[in-house]
A and B are shown apart, each in its own frame.
Chain A
Amino acid sequence: MKKFRIMGLFVGILLLTNCSDYLNVVPDGAATLENAFSNRTNLEKFFYGCYNYLPNYAHPFNYPGHIGGDEIWFDVDNGMGNRSGGRIAQGQQNSNDPYHNYWDGANDGKRMWIGIRDCNIFLENVDQVPDLPEWERTRWKAEVKFLKAYFHFFLLQLYGPIPIMDTNIGVSASPEEVRIYREPVDDVIEYIVTLLDEATKDLPVIIEEMTTETGRATKATALAVKAKALVWAASPLFNGSYVYYRDFKDKRGVQLIANNDDPEVIRARWQRAAVATRNAIDTAHLAGHQLFEFQRGFEVMSDTTALKYTLRGCVTERFTYNREVIWACTNSNNEFQNWCTPKMYTNYPGTAELSATLKIAEMYYTRNGIPIDEDPYWDYETRYETRVDTGTWHKFYIGAGETTAKLNYYREPRFYAHLGFDRGIYELLANSDEEALVIKQRSGEVHGLVFQDCHPSTGYFIKKAVSFRIPTTTTGPTPYRFSIPIIRLPDLYLLYAEALNESLDTPDDEVYRWVDIVRTRAGLDGVLRSWEFSLVPDKPTYKEGMREIIKRERLIELSCEGQRSFDLRRWRDAERYFNEPVRGWDFQGAKLEDYYQTRVYFSNRQFTYKDYLWPLRLSTLMVNANLVQNPGW
């Protein structure tokens, strides 16, 4: 019966393998979402993961504020033209597969809803983490609330009415539960404001650990975002005055954007925005934020050069020196900077193709602090002609004895600080005033068109996006990393002036004061004094004139920082500006007279009322039939 013993062995094996347990191959303790909340270390990762969903401000491919407006142009045949921003700038936005789709997370957009859901998951679970000190729990919660509010605000700026995702819907929810509605713009802004108020009270006034925490939210950050949200609520696009939104209702019959254009109601909106903005400014001052001024070290330089560093450094300098920045996305890297850096290196397979359009160059004031077509002392009619630099006034602006367009002469310091142009000086700390780098970008010249290497597309390099701390002796670009500000002080000052001006019948000294702070720093006289000499001396004295002045000041001060296209949409001015032809100098011209021809690089964009808001993707509307499309799409 030996065989039986062997069989017994087999039966033993069979019995030992208890069926169900045998198939339980996953051991206890495998990672689940609960692990994220098991201790502080894991929670910290989840916490920073919430910050991760901020848009990438420094990437020309990803951030919808850079390319897609009328501010920056690019080489349409060289890659950027096929990216989302380039497509939008060429009038190709569509509802089939929208560009910069931040709703669904497609075409260079992030799915913002994931960020919001993560914030909710964090807030739902943070209280169960055992080893988190109470003060830290409070602060982290406040920061996540802030982020949740900001994500909603970011979507609102693109899409207008959006669903409010205050709590998460379970993964296994029924189809009816997940088909949510878009909420009216005013409700969304009210929600954002409430959430920010909640966050503000627990946020720190200042960041103490600057080496590890700069970039995180403070009271000033939250109040500044709140101010911006309320300014959006008061601005023409959303304040009830836009006729195209008069019948914008969803399937429940809910009016999605206000349609009450009673001037007093709108004035009340502006008053509320003004109070919030002032509160943000005061809090920022209290926290030590102040306008940036370049501090000279051992470098010997002219006051002019130092002023240019001040006006550029307020964007390109890091927080330690630059206390003007209230909030920036520290996760952003150098992509935008690299795309804007001229070809200054021997071995540079880069692109250097992002340039400001001719319109931006014309937008800056003359040296008298007024628009080029309002300055009787500036020759507007002949501005596209060229002349030789003879005087000493341009010593630190234009290469000595060089010839360039008259447009580039006798302009305000911000023009020279923000833009680089042919025969203009491209100041870098590595070069002294005497050996300053002079841009030469006619075709075939060192910074000019070189096939497959360098594609300067209009003739105006965006100096403001390139740090003056980059070295010039390396063979390739070595960018100096900085964070493009999301909000800096002049932004708030000018919002405040705008909100005040809109809430008053005629501008008062307080309105001038805040604009003048920005102008003074830029080396210009105040508004009233500057316009005295202009062709329209009374312009600052009445509301509409002052509105135009504030808008222009804002567009100049915040140019090429990803703000302009948002502002123009908010003001409902985009139709006027975006449909203008894109112009620049002829970068294919090798000779002086060929280069200084204005060329139209793109025209006929056909930006209409519908383009003020992003389209929702068609398939998204199919999946959730309770969502309605934005008007016109």
Chain B
Amino acid sequence: MVKGYRSEDRSNMYAQFEARQDLDFFLKGLSARALFNINRYSLLPVRRQIVPFFYTLAVTSDPNSYILNPINTDGTDYLDFVPSTKSLESTMYFEGAVSYNNVFAEKHTVSGLLVYTIRELLDGNTDNFQLSLPHRNLGLAGRLTYSYDSRYFLETNFGYNGSERFHSSQRWGFFPSAGAGWIISNEKFMEPVGGIISKLKLKATYGLVGNDAIGRDEDRFYYMSQLNMNDGGRGYDLGDDFGFHSNGISIQRYADPDITWEISRKSNYGLELNLWNSLEIQFDYFRERRSNILQERVSIPTTMGLQVTPRANIGKAKGSGFEMSVDYNKAFTTDLWIVARGNFTYAASKYDVFEEPDYTKVPWRFHVGQKLSQNFGYIAERLFIDDEEVLNSPLQTFGEYGAGDIKYKDINGDMSIDENDQVPVGFPTTPEIIYGFGISAGYKNFDISFFFQGSARSSFWINAGSTAPFIGNRAMLQYYGDSHWTEDNRDLYALWPRLSENAMPNNQVTSTWFMRDGSFLRLKTAEIGYTIPLNFVRKIKMQNVRLYISGNNLAVWAPFKMWDPEMGDNGLAYPLQRVFNFGINIEF
């Protein structure tokens, strides 16, 4: 059913000005360039549409008749204008660079580079003072490299960056890094095996990286306080007949001039190996120590009366992992070729410093030493058998509960299940292992390819709140219908606890009951193609004709069966689609 029109008028204006200057006359190998561009983007969408009147059907005593009951009164059965979001953006970019490149005595290669950049973004669609201010970056970066005989490499880099987001005293960050490399395969002693080992390189880098994109975009200027000087929610009515109203003033952020760059110290050790010119293996081991992580000051008591909790650069975390990829690329004959590729990443992290209350009496609640996206929750033992067991068990403090509701473990043994009984549960919510592999191969006119991807070592939670049956006239999932606790069938390990018309906070707190393994392996894409022989194609004046069938998201293997684990916590949401394509590529 057509309900209207939508048109978009989009324009993008781009002007660039660039100059290069060779400075050989000054110093051999020295050159300079500069670049300036301006980009203006605008979007004017227009929507004209009708809003239909909707009716429900109601039956009457006469089986041959019915009544229509209107549902909405805001319908327009004529075309009406619906405002849409307009967009206007302007960016300016300047880059000035001086570079130097020279080779001495045929073996000593020296290069240097200094780049100065200015970037500005103006966004015309903001509705708040702070977002309306231009986004600006200013930076100076440099690089100095030296290599000897294509075997030994040294490189140092630095970045000196300024961020508008910080107070002038914290604005500039200096981030140096250095690295060294050794291509062993270029050594003389490797020549005998040169046919097998076409490339072997060892490398190591260490350096600092700064991040100024901390916090939400609305909180751009942490060094400034933010107020709502006319807050209707903080106002007051007065007068005999309530005839007087004044708005109030509210504080949305307290100024903190000390907020500054988040810094990570990264080191990386790598190996690149190529065998027979067709098998390429890369292996990297990396370590990272992040400091100055922006975090809420949870140690500030509520008695301070702050309207918002301030944040500060207090967190520290470290992470390490490795990354590996294997590529194989070979054409055996003109008719048979194969390309195979695989990658594997393992990354784990943990907090070294995390501001949190003093949990020494309940040490299992500390975030320090735990993974970054570690979830905390209660340990569900099973469902309560009957109300008598409820009375004889530790008191659960989440709201009404009874027979058939989830029974939690009393970690600290104080006969009360509360906050202090939360422990780290499951794997982190972001997977620690991500991998993928695929093969493309062709034989004569046929070609086939497929690609798998997968993840492991993550947990997710079934959202008991948004899948709970009956709430808001929600229907019941078949899985819940098949396995739930009832008076007659007291299945203590049923998938769903006692059914209820009301939301049951006791059963909805984060616990191991609804925790599931998030790992999966998916056949992401597969494709089969057939290229029609050239001699036939040329007859019909074409260059190349290929027929193919492909599919996305074709199969998934996972320990969790109720729905696609990539959908996360709510199986009633819109699922990932399985897509099949059939196509013809024709080149004239």
Question: Footprint of B on A, CB under 8 Å?
Answer: 3-4, 6-7, 10-11, 13-14, 17, 19-20, 22-27, 30-33, 35-36, 42, 44-46, 48-49, 51-52, 77, 81-82, 87, 90, 92, 94-97, 103-105, 111, 113-118, 163, 165, 168-169, 171-172, 175, 178-180, 210-216, 318-320, 330-331, 481, 618-620, 622-625, 627
Contacts and interface: CB of A to CB of B under 8 A. Distances in A.
A526 B310 CA distance: 60
Contact of A215 (B19, B237, B501): B237
Contacts of A113: 302-305
A46 B164 contact: no
Interface stretch (B47-55, B181-189, B249-257): B249-257
The winner among B34, B129, B133 for most chain A CB atoms within 10 A is: B34
B399 A26 contact: no
Contacts of A210: 239-240
B168 interface: yes
Contact of B305 (A52, A90, A115): A115
Contact of B300 (A25, A96, A178, A331): A178
A44 B32 CA distance: 60
Given A36-B227, A212-B239, A214-B239, A117 B118 contact: no
Contacts of A623: 298-302, 357
B419 interface: yes
Interface of B: 19, 21, 32, 34, 36, 94, 96, 116, 118, 129-130, 133-136, 138, 162-164, 168, 171, 221, 224-227, 229-231, 234-244, 246-251, 254-256, 298-307, 310, 357-359, 397-400, 416, 418-420, 501-503
A27 B224 CA distance: 11
B242 A163 contact: no
Nearest to B395: A94
B303 A163 contact: yes
A539 to B, nearest CB: 42
A10 B305 contact: no
15 contacts: A3-B19, A7-B32, A10-B19, A10-B94, A22-B138, A23-B136, A23-B163, A45-B235, A77-B501, A114-B307, A163-B303, A171-B304, A211-B243, A215-B238, A627-B301
Contacts of B302: 103-105, 111, 113, 620, 623
Contact of B419 (A165, A331, A618): A618
A7 B239 contact: no
A26 B221 contact: yes
B343 to A, nearest CB: 39
A214 B242 CA distance: 8
A19 B138 contact: yes
The winner among A31, A213, A627 for most chain B CB atoms within 10 A is: A31
A13 B116 CA distance: 12
Contact of A7 (B19, B229, B242, B359): B19
Contacts of B224: 26, 30, 32
Contacts of A31: 129, 226-227, 229
Given A22-B118, A113-B302, A45 B230 contact: yes
B168 A211 contact: no
The winner among B19, B135, B420 for most chain A CB atoms within 10 A is: B19
Nearest to A53: B234
A213 B244 contact: yes
A175 B234 contact: no
B317 to A, nearest CB: 21
Contacts of A11: 96
A625 B356 CA distance: 12
Given A24-B168, A33-B227, A318-B241, A49 B34 contact: no
Contacts of B171: 20, 23
Given A25-B133, A30-B129, A117-B306, A17 B234 contact: no
Contacts of A165: 303, 305
A13 B303 contact: no
A326 to B, nearest CB: 15
Contacts of A331: 235-237
Contacts of B136: 22-23, 25
B229 A214 contact: no
A52 B234 contact: yes
B232 to A, nearest CB: 10
Nearest to A81: B502
Contacts of B221: 26
A337 B299 CA distance: 41
A11 B357 CA distance: 54
A87 B503 CA distance: 13
Given A7-B19, A163-B303, A212-B243, A49 B419 contact: no
B304 A178 contact: yes
A26 B133 contact: yes
Contacts of B303: 103, 113, 163, 165, 178, 180, 624
Given A23-B163, A622-B358, A213 B239 contact: yes
B503 to A, nearest CB: 7
Given A13-B36, A33-B227, A212 B419 contact: no
Contacts of B19: 3, 6-7, 10
A481 B242 contact: yes
Contacts of B254: 171
Nearest to A169: B304
Contacts of A22: 118, 136, 138, 162
Contacts of B36: 10, 13
Contacts of B243: 211-212
A180 B420 CA distance: 23
B229 A330 contact: no
A27 B164 CA distance: 12
A48 B235 contact: yes
Contact of A318 (B162, B226, B240, B418): B240
Contacts of A24: 164, 168
Contact of A25 (B134, B241, B301): B134
A52 B420 CA distance: 35
Contact of B229 (A10, A42, A320): A42
Nearest to A621: B357
B233 to A, nearest CB: 8
Contacts of B304: 113, 117, 169, 171, 178
Contacts of A49: 231, 234-236, 248-250
A324 B246 CA distance: 26
Contacts of A96: 397-398, 416, 418-419
B255 A330 contact: no
